[in-house]
Amino acid sequence: MTRRASTEPFDTNPLSGALPLSRRRLLELAAAGSAAGLLPLGGTNEAKAFAYEPYPKDDELETVVTSCAHNCGSRHMLVAHKKGDVIVRLSTDDGRYQKDGFFGKDTEEEPQVRACLRGRSYRARLYSAERLLYPMMRVGPRGEGKFKRVSWDEALTFVANKMVELKTKYGPQAILDQSYAGASYGVLHKSDQIEGLLARFLGMFGCRTSSWSVPSYQATTFSSRMTFGTIEDGNEDDAFAHSKLIIMWGWNPAYTFHGGNTFYYMRMAKQRGCKFVLVDPQYTDSAAAYDAWWIPIKPNTDAAMMAAMAHVIFSENLHNQDFINRFVLGMDQGTMPDWAKGKENFKDYILGTYDKTPKTPEWAEPICGVKADDIRKLARMYAGTKPAALKASWAPGRNAYGEQYNRMAAALQSMTGNIGVLGGCAEGVGKAFHSEAVAYPYDQYANVWYASIKSDRWAHCVLNYPNVKREEVGLWPRQDNLDGVIPNIKGIFWQGSDWFNQLTNINKEIEAIKKLELVVCMDSTITPSGIWADVLLPIATHFERHDVALPWYKGHYYIHRPKVIQPLGESKSDFQVFTELAYRLGFGPAFNPKANRDYFHIDDNVDEAYLREWWEGRVMGNAAHPVTMGWEEFKKRGIYKFHLHEPHVAFKDQIEKGIPFQTASGRIEIFSTQLAQITDWTKTQYGYEIPYIPKWIEPWESLNSPKTAQFPFHLISPHPRWRTHSIFNNIPWLRETFEQEVTLNAADAAKLGVKTGDVVELYNDRGRVVVPVYATERCMPGVAVLHEGAWMDLDKNGVDRAGNPDFLTLDEPSPAGAFAYNTVLCAIRKTTLEHKPGWDQLATSRSHVFRRDL
Amino acid sequence: MANEKDKAAIKEAVKRKKREHYVPVVPDTQLGFIHNNVDCIGCRACEIACKDKNGLPPGPRFRRVQYVEGGTYPEVFAYKINMSCNHCAEPACLPTCPTGAIFKRKKDGIVDIDSTLCIGCRRCEAACPFGAPQYNAETNTVVKCNMCVDEIDAGRKPYCVMACMMRVLDIGPIDQLRAGTYETKARGANDEVVRQVRNMADPELTNPSIVFVPHSKGKVG
């Protein structure tokens, strides 16, 4: 469905008068006729800009509302302006498209959902040279990157035969599902471990090993489940506008955006007098924009600093005892369950009752590199400001024992009573307002698996099979005879994921992938993972298939995603590919009940039927938030924005109405009843013991460990702004705005004898990468920052010239499953090796000169 | 590209241009930009929107978000200055153009280049103190921001402004922006605006149509 933008309500020259158009003025103009206010053209030389015709203006093009589609948690509107079957340019929400909308409408209740720089660059990705247009099969050794074009029939025949062979020879665990949300977060076409199409396809086929730990936020997933009994611990984005204090703990919304209009509501908070604090090894753009008090902290020591804050709050009696008594389990002696009265409670731990180590600010200072007085000041500030949001973000959890940091944050949030109140915060995962999100058949066949492992242990499993213990790979327990059976992984499917480039310790992965017998990559472009595949299947982008989008993280709206253009080349949707494969394997009708085998060639009616049924049934029939807009009107407008009568705040009902939390005790479990009762840890998916109350545990490497003698820098690898993980690394527009570079403190750089722009080598026992330096005062000494997601580019010695930090990371997850992406020591030296920012020859350019102390 | 041009028309244009003495056009309303240096997160959505709108290859960047940082660890600061073409009241580029390709619109003061007349001599590029005109080697012309005249004429705002996720970039009549009487989200309730920030060319040179909400470290004088 497309709609033509109408210019009728708009004055042809509103800027001659009052701008922005107020609602009243707009109505006046509409009444007066659209020509009102037009000034006579002045001068003789009124040539057009870009006079080289044809320069199509927006209003001469067809307008189609759609959205961006990558895995950042946000989801914003893109408006395609197309001519024929070509998208000429993209714009974004300007207030016109929603119900009762008009150009410029942008209220606090219904803000525009404006796309970020990545979304705005989508046209360059859609038409990029890296697009996969035809099925291809490997001709050289795996990883060499040589492929030949084949027909769909040849490619799918090969895949189907190989799947049957693997299942027959190696059993129901032989194929590893490494689908992820890289290419798609739609309600119908979805790549994901749990709700994804591949999970259902392999499950129905009867051969699937699943990857259970989430690379981004497994620590906080664990923490939120243990503490609150749910991962939906998030407030909606607009709730941030109501805080008086926001502590951004390892959180950089200026880079990650984090759903809806989070960053913008935080600006509103600032204008209303909210104070900001940043606890982070870097002085980020968020710190600058929100004028935050920056507390630099050594990576991986966050839980220690939080413990010290808890000590200050307890010892100065700043905690909210009433809240603790009513809602919390195990915060102190009085709130311990009867059966565990003799066990250590959180206050005991903080005050050092048993271990004789009070977790004072002075205790934390040498661990964290934060002055005791600053810890004290922040603790008092947090306990004394109401309401205050301690936003414990994901990055500090991507660590050895990262779950302790998130559990410790939950303890601070509850002892100060900042949970369930507007302006407070229990995040955590931060998943907020929940909308209906699955339109394909999500039934008893969805997410069937025969083994499930910690996601970054697959290479370890493959390389050491069968001499692998279940705790080494984090094998999820089962109730049948497959419990404890180590999977003999012989094949991998990548659906919308570039995991080979994104998981830890890539050199180990390279060894492991050589042992596999089938590697299938389904994606819209070639990716570093695709280079290692046997079969490349070209997948239609979200511009080329029908779907509905919504943010999975924050933001309350649906965006319609029509088939804006026909799929390029021979590309097909994932759903089409799986359906055709299912027919070849004998379960086609069960896999896609609304389709017949023609679906591979014509998908429009089937997709429409799924989406309509979902919208009219689940979305309009949702008990908590029914949508009244019909499917046809939604398709015509392109967007539906929910009207919430107040900002959604997690656990508000629990606090205000006394509804029990979803934990076993019905309370906020700082003392975890589940963890306290585990006796054999090897039989759990964690594999190793996790304390039942939050504790500071020394990570296996950090700036405090002796290993710094050899590897003096602590490497962290946060999300970049100019990529969504690895997606968009190939976009020249984005690449000329930012560089893949290692950020170092200026004094460290001076010691290494390097300055901004010099090329260095980062190395440790696991790998070597080559990148330029950015030397700045904005980074803590001893810390090196290298953003994740650069497309690996190996030289003949196995050195990565692109600067992908995952050649240095360790494939040793935290017990709770958190990837230890940020637990890495490395050394740095100046090098003559070449840095290659991308696979093409495009030179990256810095847009500006960094100026210091003007 | 240059080969395809109408050489006779260019010769005519040069002749006409030589006879003229440049008097800056006084627009009926001068439009200008406002940018909040502090609240800008430097995301560059505006830059990419501009690239897409104008179909630019890597190279020319009409809009440039410049990062400024300073201080000594841990007492540091950072802010952004966001500029495209400032559509100056007395544009330095305009009189340098040998063919008269550069012109200033009477109705709103937008400075634009008629690319059919541009011969790619790059004199304007050298003259502009802000780096607005930029050479596009693919077309052998100089190109620059025209404030999305097509959008302005359609009653909307330029792509960069409509892209701003933080609502810190806006346009409006420059006299009202300077006086602080123009209603815009770019300026907070207590924010003052200035014509110049540190390390920016003296606005007396060309009288650029832009104001900033400055960072405390970016104030001049």
| CATH code at position A170 | 3.40.50.740
Q: What ipTM was predicted for this assembly?
A: 0.93
The pLDDT of residue B3 is 56
The pLDDT of residue A277 is 98
Residue A6: pLDDT over 80: no
Closest CA in chain A for residue B187: A271
Of A40, A47, A59, which is closest to B154 when you measure between CB atoms? A59
Q: What integer best gives the mean pLDDT of chain A?
A: 91
Q: What are phi and psi of A557, to 5 degrees?
A: -165, 155
Contact A685, A753 (CB under 8 A): no
The pLDDT of residue A17 is 41
Q: Is residue A843 part of a domain?
A: no
Both A181 and A301 in one domain: the answer is no
Both A240 and A147 in one domain: the answer is no
Q: Give residue for tokens 């392999």.
A: A202
Closest CA in chain A for residue B24: A43
The pLDDT of residue A716 is 98
Contacts of residue A52 in chain B, CB cutoff 8 Å?
A: 115-116
Which of B110, B160, B165, B191 is best to mutate for the A interface (most A CBs within 10 A)? B165
Contact B156, B109 (CB under 8 A): no
Instruction: Give which of A447, A448, A472, A471 is closest to A459, Cα–Cα.
Output: A472
The pLDDT of residue A458 is 98
Q: Considering only residues 1 to 30 of chain B, which have any Cβ-Cβ distance to chain A shorter than 8 Å?
A: 25, 27-29
Closest CA in chain A for residue B108: A16
Contact A208, A525 (CB under 8 A): no
- End-of-domain residue from the set A78, A103, A126: A126
When pLDDT is averaged across residues A731-754 and rounded to a whole number, the result is 94
> What is the end-to-end Cα distance of chain B in Å, rounded?
47
Q: B31 CA to chain A: closest CA distance, Å?
A: 8
When pLDDT is averaged across residues B170-199 and rounded to a whole number, the result is 96
Cis? peptide before A20, omega within 30° of 0: yes
CB contact under 8 A, B164 and A114: yes
How far apart are the C-alpha atoms of A92 and A848, rounded to whole Å? 27
Contact A311, A358 (CB under 8 A): yes
Contacts of residue A737 in chain B, CB cutoff 8 Å?
A: 44, 47-48
Q: A527 CA to chain B: closest CA distance, Å?
A: 21
Residue A3: pLDDT over 90: no
Q: How many other CB atoms sit within 10 Å of the CB of residue A547? A: 26
Strands A824-830 and A759-763: antiparallel
Tell me the sheet residues that pair with A323: none
Give the containing element (helix H, strand E) for A633.
helix A631-637
Structure tokens at A485: 């059976």
Residue A428: pLDDT over 50: yes
Q: Is residue A4 part of a domain?
A: no
Both A108 and A93 in one domain: the answer is yes
Cis? peptide before B208, omega within 30° of 0: no
The pLDDT of residue B20 is 64
Close Cβ partners of A59 (under 8 Å, ≥ 6 residues apart): A5, A7, B154
Both A571 and A630 in one domain: the answer is yes
The pLDDT of residue A484 is 96
- Half-sphere exposure (Cβ direction) of B19: Cα atoms closer than 13 Å: 5
How far apart are the C-alpha atoms of A235 and A200, rounded to whole Å? 31
How far apart are the C-alpha atoms of B172 and B33, rounded to whole Å? 7
pLDDT in tens, A798-837: 999 999 999 999 999 999 999 999 999 999 999 999 999 8
Helix (H, G, I), strand (E, B) or coil at A39: coil
How far apart are the C-alpha atoms of A332 and A338, rounded to whole Å? 13
CB contact under 8 A, A7 and B155: yes
Tell me the sheet residues that pair with A714: A783, A825
Structure tokens at A368: 């964290």
Contact A784, A715 (CB under 8 A): yes
Q: Give residue for tokens 């090969």.
A: A158
Closest CA in chain A for residue B190: A271
Q: Is residue A670 part of a domain?
A: yes
Both A258 and A308 in one domain: the answer is yes
Both A226 and A276 in one domain: the answer is yes
Residue A15: pLDDT over 80: no
How far apart are the C-alpha atoms of A368 and A696, rounded to whole Å? 11
Contact B163, B43 (CB under 8 A): no
The pLDDT of residue A184 is 64
How far apart are the C-alpha atoms of A696 and A406, rounded to whole Å? 11
Distances (CA, A) of A688 to A63, A671, A677, A683, A820: 55, 18, 14, 9, 15
Both A384 and A445 in one domain: the answer is no
Both A41 and A109 in one domain: the answer is yes
pLDDT in tens, A632-677: 999 999 999 999 889 999 999 999 999 999 999 999 999 999 999 9
Of B47, B103, B172, which is closest to A45 when you measure between CB atoms? B103
Q: Is residue A76 part of a domain?
A: yes
pLDDT in tens, A392-426: 999 999 999 999 999 999 999 999 999 999 999 99
Ramachandran region, residue A6 (left: φ > 0; alpha: ψ -120 to 50; beta: rest): beta
CB contact under 8 A, B47 and A117: yes
Q: Is residue A628 part of a domain?
A: yes
Contact B61, B134 (CB under 8 A): yes
The pLDDT of residue A400 is 97
Q: Which residue has the higher pLDDT, A257 or A664?
A: A664
Contacts of residue A55 in chain B, CB cutoff 8 Å?
A: 150
Q: How many domains does chain A have?
A: 4
The pLDDT of residue A840 is 63
Contact A211, A455 (CB under 8 A): yes
Q: At what angle do helices A372-384 and A302-315 cross, to 10 degrees?
A: 60
Strands A824-830 and A275-279: unpaired
Exposure string over A127-137, b if 16+ CB within 10 A, otherwise e: ebebbbebbbb
Structure tokens at B5: 């041009």
Residue A18: pLDDT over 90: no
Least confident range of A50-59, A576-585, A845-854, B100-109? A845-854
When pLDDT is averaged across residues A446-459 and rounded to a whole number, the result is 96
Amino acid at B213: V
pLDDT in tens, A604-643: 999 999 999 999 999 999 998 899 999 999 999 999 999 9
Both A498 and A385 in one domain: the answer is no
The pLDDT of residue A21 is 40
Q: At what angle do helices A574-585 and A152-170 cross, to 10 degrees?
A: 60
Least confident range of A123-132, A237-246, A467-476, B167-176? A123-132
Q: Is residue A725 part of a domain?
A: yes
pLDDT exceeding 70 applies to what percent of chain A?
92
Contact A841, A730 (CB under 8 A): no
How far apart are the C-alpha atoms of A533 and A597, rounded to whole Å? 27
Contacts of residue B167 in chain A, CB cutoff 8 Å?
A: 106, 264, 267
When pLDDT is averaged across residues A471-489 and rounded to a whole number, the result is 97
Q: A292 CA to chain B: closest CA distance, Å?
A: 10
Instruction: Give which of A189, A190, A191 is closest to A177, Cα–Cα.
Output: A191
Contacts of residue B31 in chain A, CB cutoff 8 Å?
A: 15
Q: Which residue has the higher pLDDT, A367 or A737?
A: A367
Close Cβ partners of A383 (under 8 Å, ≥ 6 residues apart): A312, A313, A316, A318, A319, A416
Contacts of residue B146 in chain A, CB cutoff 8 Å?
A: 49-50
pLDDT in tens, A154-190: 999 999 999 999 999 999 999 999 998 766 678 999 8
Instruction: Give which of A594, A564, A565 is closest to A579, Cα–Cα.
Output: A594
Structure tokens at A628: 């009244």
Domains, chain B: 2-218 (3.30.70.20)
What helix, strand, coil percent values describe chain A, rounded to 5?
A: 30, 15, 55
How far apart are the C-alpha atoms of B77 and B218, rounded to whole Å? 10
Helix (H, G, I), strand (E, B) or coil at A82: strand
Instruction: Give which of A537, A609, A606 is closest to A574, Cα–Cα.
Output: A537
What is the 8-class DSSP label of residue B201? Answer: P
CB contact under 8 A, A47 and B49: no
The pLDDT of residue A182 is 65
Q: Is residue A699 part of a domain?
A: no
Of A14, A737, A745, which is closest to B47 when you measure between CB atoms? A737
Contacts of residue A848 in chain B, CB cutoff 8 Å?
A: 64-67
Contact A72, A256 (CB under 8 A): yes
Supply the CATH number for residue A271's domain.
3.40.228.10
Both A349 and A458 in one domain: the answer is no
B219 touches chain A (CB under 8 A): no
The residue segments making up the domain with residue A78 are 14-126
Contact A47, A80 (CB under 8 A): no
How far apart are the C-alpha atoms of B199 and B150, rounded to whole Å? 32
- End-of-domain residue from the set A102, A126, A150: A126
Q: Considering only residues 103 to 142 of chain B, which have any Cβ-Cβ distance to chain A shorter than 8 Å?
A: 103-108, 112-117
Least confident range of A30-34, A90-94, B123-127, B194-198? A30-34
How far apart are the C-alpha atoms of A405 and A790, rounded to whole Å? 28
The pLDDT of residue A9 is 35
Least confident range of A235-244, A254-263, A592-601, B25-34? A254-263
Q: Considering only residues 195 to 214 of chain B, which have any Cβ-Cβ distance to chain A shorter than 8 Å?
A: 198-199
Which of B43, B56, B177 is best to mutate for the A interface (most A CBs within 10 A)? B43
pLDDT in tens, A525-574: 999 999 999 999 999 999 999 999 998 889 999 999 999 999 999 999 99
Q: What are phi and psi of B150, to 5 degrees?
A: -65, -35
Contacts of residue B65 in chain A, CB cutoff 8 Å?
A: 847-848
Q: Is residue A1 part of a domain?
A: no
Q: Give residue for tokens 């390892």.
A: A250
- End-of-domain residue from the set A584, A608, A641: A641
Residue B187: pLDDT over 50: yes
Both A602 and A492 in one domain: the answer is yes
Strands A245-249 and A275-279: parallel
Of A117, A121, A289, which is closest to B39 when you measure between CB atoms? A289
Size of interface A-B (CB pairs under 8 A): 235
Tell me the longest C-alpha to C-alpha distance in chain A. 91
Q: Which residue has the higher pLDDT, A317 or A852?
A: A317
Both A496 and A590 in one domain: the answer is yes
For residue A124, the Cα-to-chain-centroid distance in whole angstroms is: 22
